Amino acid sequence: MMNTSNANNTPQCYSLKSPPFNYTHPISSVYFSTIFSTLGITSNLIAFIVLIKSFRQMRNRSRSFFLIFLGGLVVTDFMGLLVTGSIVVSFHFTHFNWRQVDPNCHFCNFMGMSMVFYGLCPLLLSATMAMERFCGINRPFARSTNMSKSRTVYMVLMVWLVAGCIALLPLIGVGSYHIQAPGSWCFFNISSKGSDMVFSLLFSLVGLTSIVVSFLLNTVSVVTLIKVCCGQDRTQRSRDHEVEMMVQLILIMIIASISWCPLLIYILVSMKTSEVPDAKVVLFGIRMATCNQILDPWIYIMFQVSPLRSLLLKQRSPDIVSMTCTCCCTSALPPGTRSSTHGFTSCSEGQSLRESTPALTGPGAQS
């Protein structure tokens, strides 16, 4: 492919497809791209502000670590929509010719790298967050001694480094970036031949592996959390923060799976059947993947109304709150100190026991 491109004096990114394209599919309209980009950028900005306020008010260590990962995810989604969205929207408004604007493929390679980098980062971060929660729930004491905020930041930076190294591979000959119909974006060449096949498989397998790892670790964490909160091996510390973080993490995993699996699986199927991928299907898969960056921030935003929801619950359903408080107080008691009335203990008794129990004021009170 490289020799053919050089012989014809055609840059590599235009060697397979050359603009302008005669492509009028409705999904490539300027309104679709503008609305998606504006909504996603605005949502991530709001989520970032919400996370900053939550981080300043947070005193729970495990929650603060989790917020750092969420912050990295928000920054990644925001930058991805800002970089790629501005290029796509500019094309639809100006209809510029890539061959004239970018004769040496530098701009196309940059956008292709951005698509791969900002596509893999959310999936890898989701798997990293699942791993952090798995250790926090199953090995809380070992994690508390080894984990710090600086190490959490290093983990986010490491994820960005791995995704960046993968995005750079086509520039050194493993895969190649090409202009894609309708001419508004660049992406790696999905092909079952040569180095393009290697990179296509790498991208698809890394994404699917991240989703599978997230699913497995989150499943184990949820089972463990249910045993801790509702089983006979209840611990001394409250699990409210763990439950909230796990619900957010599960929603992140579900959105990522629904958004990315169609494209990732289609790439694998194309490799197996050796068929030329349909441009419309690939474009639809990219649009689905973009939904991940748009929907993610609303998970963090909506969870900030949980204190208001608890207040309304106290005013409208005092009996339910009483049962919840009783369960929390019972789970907070040390083993062997539960009331004899079928495991139910009053909140006041539980509170007095917590205040008089030195074990609850030590480092083990936080995850």
Q: What is the pLDDT of residue 158?
A: 95
Q: What is the pLDDT of residue 359?
A: 38
Q: Is 25 helix (H, G, I), strand (E, B) or coil?
A: coil
Q: What is the pLDDT of residue 243?
A: 78
Q: What is the pLDDT of residue 59?
A: 58
Q: What is the pLDDT of residue 305?
A: 55
In this prediction, the residues of the chain whose per-residue pLDDT falls under 70 are: 1-8, 19-29, 57-63, 140-148, 229-240, 304-367
Report the alpha-carbon distance of residue 206 to residue 162 in Å, rounded: 11
Structure tokens at 176: 């190649």
Report the alpha-carbon distance of residue 18 to residue 98 in Å, rounded: 9
Q: What is the pLDDT of residue 147?
A: 61
Q: Please report which residue ranges of the chain form alpha helices under DSSP H.
A: 2-7, 30-57, 61-94, 98-101, 106-138, 140-146, 149-168, 194-230, 240-273, 279-303, 306-316, 318-332, 347-356
Q: What is the pLDDT of residue 99?
A: 85
Whole-model pTM?
Answer: 0.77
Q: What is the pLDDT of residue 239?
A: 60
CA-wise closest residue to 277 among 16, 65, 36, 29: 16
Q: What is the pLDDT of residue 348?
A: 40
Q: What is the pLDDT of residue 246?
A: 86
CA-wise closest residue to 109 among 56, 37, 169: 169
Tally of CB atoms within 10 A around 60 = 17
